Structure 1
Amino acid sequence: MEQPADTSGPRDESPQVAVTVVRTGGFAGLKRTWEATADDPSTVDVWLGFADSLPWGATPREDPRSVDRFVYRIVIAVHSEVRHETTLPESALTGRWRDLVDRVQQQADGDGDSGQSPAPSR
């Protein structure tokens, strides 16, 4: 008789939360990617609380004067499944969106502790 699968362990090796920022465009059309991850439950809660508070459905219109500017694609994944995703022109990267991108860049570039939560809200 076949034994049931063991479901007591972690689902996979992916981090609980991954926040990915991909910047494309600019004069040279360069692409750069940053990713911040979190596994600690309290840090995961802070990242998700911060991410869930952002206006995901309010996609700004593209500014016709923004030729050769950067575009940012932001993806929040929980256990490798996309929870939130948006693409913002550089002109819309203000306030809490800017806070999120800055925090992800800092963690990915090693300027912050691994798993550190996003900046406090303003």
Structure 2
Amino acid sequence: MVHEIENAADDAAADGVQDRIVVAVVRTGGIAGLRRRWRAEPAPEQVPTWIELVDRCPWQERLDPDARGADRYVWSIHARVGDEQREQVVPDTRLEGAWRELVDAVRDADAGADADSDADADADRP
């Protein structure tokens, strides 16, 4: 598996903000084997809430892949909190509790960006 490093946006480094947080979720698998990606980089006032979401996840837990059935999703979760990188691969059957809350928060935060890119794609169609 390729390890991805999540970097803060360029303006975060320019502002000197060290407590930035970036969380990315990549879902692979399913019948078509498509890859979806969501990313959240919350505003400074939201950072404490996001740090709590990230800290509640059991990053050190070993999660073996689920062999019960083909075409299941796999969730790769990457978080950068300050200078610390965390990552975990979570089988779909184990996406619950703190993992589900973090993934849902990232997907919700990225929903506006998806809508914008969908609108851009629609504009390119004849």
**How high is the TM-score relative to the length of structure 2?**
0.69
Cα offset, 1:31, TM superposition: 0.3
* Matched residue count: 100
Counterpart code for 1:35? R
Counterpart contact for 1:59–1:88, Cα < 8 Å = no
Q: Which runs of 5+ in 1 are unaligned?
A: 1-9, 112-122
Taking the TM superposition and a 5 Å limit, the aligned residue runs for 1:1-122 are 11-12=13-14, 16-40=20-44, 42-78=45-81, 81-110=83-112
Q: Distance in 1 between matches of 2:84 and 2:112?
A: 24
Alignment correspondent of 2:8:
none
Cα offset, 1:52, TM superposition: 1.3
Counterpart code for 1:100? L
Larger Rg: 1 or 2? 1
Cα RMSD for the two superposed structures: 2.3
Cα offset, 1:63, TM superposition: 1.8
* 3-state SS of 2:41 partner: strand
Counterpart contact for 2:63–2:89, Cα < 8 Å = no
**How high is the TM-score relative to the length of structure 1?**
0.71
Cα offset, 1:24, TM superposition: 0.5
Q: Which runs of 5+ in 2 are unaligned?
A: 1-11, 114-126
State the identity as a percent: 36
**Could you list the runs of 4 or more consecutive aligned residues of structure 1 that deviate by over 2 angstroms after TM superposition?**
10-15
* 3-state SS of 1:97 partner: helix
Counterpart code for 1:77? R
Q: Distance in 2 between matches of 1:97 and 1:31?
A: 19
Counterpart code for 2:71? D
Q: Distance in 2 between matches of 1:67 and 1:98?
A: 21
Question: How big is each residue's C-alpha offset from its partner over 1:17-46, in whole Å with a ceiling of 9 and x where there is no partner?
Answer: 111000011111100000111231x41122
Counterpart code for 2:63? P
